[in-house]
Structure 1
């Protein structure tokens, strides 16, 4: 299936855990293995696969050899490879990696010199690499539950971030940044808000500081998504309050306590927004649930 040779370290019990997600125009794979040498050469190269590959080393170190060059990939680093070149990936200790494969034709026009980028290591602190890893990991974990339209859009965003990580061509740089970077940053912003919505001190400023951008930039991200930071946060808190009001285990909790626990600081504002959102008061929702 992988079209590679696996050579476990002699004298060591071989153990590996692999998960893969195949999508149109994108393949994602998460791998963990004991010491092993993984090689793609000889008969495997005859399949004509020339995918652009970015291997992100998440734990341990690995010796990469391809195109007559070698590099020891440190933890957090990534490297650009080609499915059409003889390549070996050797670990002397257990390690983990996350690999993305994209058809060359899908990003060739958007990247300056893919061939020049092969075997070029990308440092762990590279901003575009971090966004690519985060966004692709999210897609890897939820890909099967995303509706087709959003899935196709997400695949394009990953391809854009990959092009941005390698180095976009001048004609495509603005397009790639607009689509890939903004999509990834919006998802990161929403994830941070979801995890911290209960905090009454969360603000657009704290989200901007988390993303290392300006508050106005964060506001524009939400505006482009058809909402605002405040509206997204409020609707999220209302949804959590509604869920708690419907849970039998919260039937004894005061409505004010639930409102404060989900992040509201003003009870009257909570009641007004809740009724506007659900067409019922919190007390009515709880009563319907009890009946």
Structure 2
């Protein structure tokens, strides 16, 4: 993912913590209107509204992460009459259970599930026991007219190596590092069509899905291009095509993921007792000499030097 600082901006934050109870609802609605779209918010159970949110706007996409108390967010007839909203919404429910209603259906969205819907209609999402979710808003202009959903679609995102999980990572990462918004927009645009009810898959989306799988299963020494393709439900040839523009293909991508994981373990206090050979094995690399050689190519120092330079000295002989 490449950085484009000129198109990035710091996250826009909102917190109710220091806002008087009487002003929370109106200010929360104003924030949502600026960052996403006009919505009416109603607290549930007559309890004070609580919310915290971070939002990042790219050139076209709008990313957000929201947590809050029991509430209903709705786009009713009033909001629809006041403002046209040519957006497709994606919500990934991380905590809580949402009840989504539109003109034609009622859907339950549980933690670990996402929903895609046409945000230009009337709809509501209610969380009776509080919520935490990631949100992506995509303008109509970035989609083929036939791809705009005519009915909501629910999908799972809690399993690594799936499109939904890869999309969740894109949204979380851009909120942590908003300077990477240009790359996040590119990745989200590649992934999004495959999540639509009548979506299509690009080679780029298969590459991103494969990388998500590699990051979750790198410790498996038997993981390879062949086994990755099987897990993704595609042919090895198709997977090679998805990585055709990367030197070394999927094999080099897997090695890079393993080396990055090893670099993290080398400075992890909980892994201080591991020898270099043990650490390499935990990252799916069985040969210590191969690991040390490839690590030095990537980081210009040996694993032992990398650990020592960062103040983590292994007591025994590696």
* Same fold (TM > 0.5): yes
Do residues 153 (structure 1) and 178 (structure 2) align? no
1:112 is aligned to 146
Offset, 1:7: 1.4
Alignment of 1:1-291 (within 5 A): 1-2=31-32, 3-41=38-76, 44-45=79-80, 46-66=82-102, 68-75=103-110, 76=113, 78-82=115-119, 84-107=120-143, 110-112=144-146, 114=148, 117-118=149-150, 120-124=151-155, 131-143=162-174, 144-145=177-178, 147=180, 150-162=183-195, 165-168=196-199, 173=200, 176-179=201-204, 181-193=205-217, 196-197=218-219, 199-238=220-259, 256=277, 259-260=280-281, 262-270=283-291, 273=294
Please identify the structure whose Cα radius of gyration is greater. Answer: 1
SS of 2:243's equivalent?
A: helix
1:82-132 per-residue CA deviation (whole Å, 9 max, x = no partner) reads: 2x333333333334444321111211xx24263xx33x2324359xxx945
2:14 is aligned to none
> Does the 8 Å CA contact 1:56/1:79 hold for their aligned counterparts?
no
Distance 2:308 2:167 in 1: 43
Distance 1:283 1:58 in 2: 39
> Does the 8 Å CA contact 2:114/2:155 hold for their aligned counterparts?
yes
Offset, 1:4: 2.0
> Does the 8 Å CA contact 2:51/2:68 hold for their aligned counterparts?
yes
1:129-174 per-residue CA deviation (whole Å, 9 max, x = no partner) reads: x945323322222223554653442242144335xx1314xxxx4x
Offset, 1:49: 2.7
Change (3 A) 1:136 1:22: farther
Offset, 1:267: 4.3
Structure 1 runs not aligned, ≥5 long: none
Offset, 1:23: 1.9
1:211-244 per-residue CA deviation (whole Å, 9 max, x = no partner) reads: 3334444343333433233333344555666777
Offset, 1:58: 4.7
Aligned length: 269
Superposed CA RMSD in Å reads 4.1
SS of 2:46's equivalent?
A: coil
Of 95-104 and 141-150, deviating more is 141-150
> Does the 8 Å CA contact 2:56/2:178 hold for their aligned counterparts?
no
1:175-196 per-residue CA deviation (whole Å, 9 max, x = no partner) reads: x4334x3243233133235xx3
Greater helix share, structure number:
1
Distance 1:32 1:185 in 2: 27
Change (3 A) 1:288 1:94: closer
Distance 2:167 2:145 in 1: 19
TM-score by length of 1: 0.69
Change (3 A) 1:202 1:14: same
1:57-103 per-residue CA deviation (whole Å, 9 max, x = no partner) reads: 4554444343x434132322524132x33333333333444432111
Of 86-95 and 253-262, deviating more is 253-262
